[in-house]
């Protein structure tokens, strides 16, 4: 009887470990973070994570085996996406847990971002009201496929790669608040630096779309 109980426990914990094994790779965590923005093909993931196609396919296979991602086929392309919203919640909780326990994360983030142009203690409801009235311009600087998947209400899409040529269409008499994939995404930081250099009033919102929604605020798709 004791041996049977031991076998059952071992089998259960082995299943529990499937998720942690899948999350043991930094690149697989990055891929999940990327897929939390929108579904993507292998080629898109490979390009945006600086991985080769073969390596990306292998990492996605591991994530699918752990039931963290799902797929759909559209013609000759296979699109990968998070298996459910609970995976996005898992990523958010993993990040916040590690931020509280490892000071190295804050040191790296502080050195890389230096909180340049960051909105401190942002009142999200107030920001939303200002964007609705047109007093603030919300700028989504992620790739357009991620904006199409989901974005903040009243936000306009100007991918960071297109921002320089779109400056002429942005007002200089209103504050521009840029956001991207979350606190460790460089797109919004680069946008604020460029806008400020060109004479705009600009700041950065740390929230990703998922984090924004986690505060009970609406998103659009």
Burial of 48 (0-12, 13-18, 19+ CB in 10 A): middle
Q: Is 171 helix (H, G, I), strand (E, B) or coil?
A: coil
The contacts of residue 73 (CB under 8 Å, 6+ apart) are 79
The contacts of residue 62 (CB under 8 Å, 6+ apart) are 22, 25, 28
CB 22 within 8 A of CB 63: yes
Name the CA dihedral angle for 176, 181, 184, 186, rounded to a multiple of 10 degrees. -60
Reply yes or no on whether 180 is catalytic.
yes
Catalytic residue among 138, 163, 180, 192: 180
Beta strand ranges found along the chain (DSSP E): 40-41, 69-74, 77-82, 136-140, 156-157, 175-179, 201-204
| End-to-end CA gap in the chain | 55
Q: Could you give the CA distance from residue 132 to residue 126 in angstroms, rounded to a whole number?
A: 10
Q: Catalytic positions, please?
A: 180
């Amino acid at each position: 009887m004791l041996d049977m109980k031991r076998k059952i426990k071992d089998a259960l914990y082995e299943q529990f470990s499937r998720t942690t094994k899948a999350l043991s790779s930094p690149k697989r965590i990055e891929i999940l973070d990327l897929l939390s923005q929108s579904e993507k093909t292998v080629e898109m993931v490979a390009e945006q994570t600086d991985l080769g196609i073969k390596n990306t396919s292998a990492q996605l296979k591991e994530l699918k085996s752990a039931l963290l991602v799902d797929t759909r086929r559209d013609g000759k392309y296979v699109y990968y996406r998070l298996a459910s919203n609970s995976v996005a919640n898992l990523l958010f909780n993993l990040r916040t847990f590690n931020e509280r326990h490892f000071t190295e994360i804050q040191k790296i983030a502080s050195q890389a971002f230096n909180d340049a142009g960051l909105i401190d203690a942002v009142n999200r409801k107030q920001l939303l009201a200002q964007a609705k009235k047109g007093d603030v311009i919300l700028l989504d600087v992620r790739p357009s496929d991620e904006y199409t998947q989901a974005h903040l209400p009243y936000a306009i899409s100007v991918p960071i790669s297109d921002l320089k040529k779109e400056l002429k269409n942005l007002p200089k008499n209103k504050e521009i608040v840029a956001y991207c994939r979350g606190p460790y995404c460089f797109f919004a930081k680069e946008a604020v630096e460029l806008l400020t250099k060109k004479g705009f009033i600009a700041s950065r919102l740390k929230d990703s779309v998922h984090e924004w929604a986690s505060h009970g605020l609406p998103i659009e798709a």
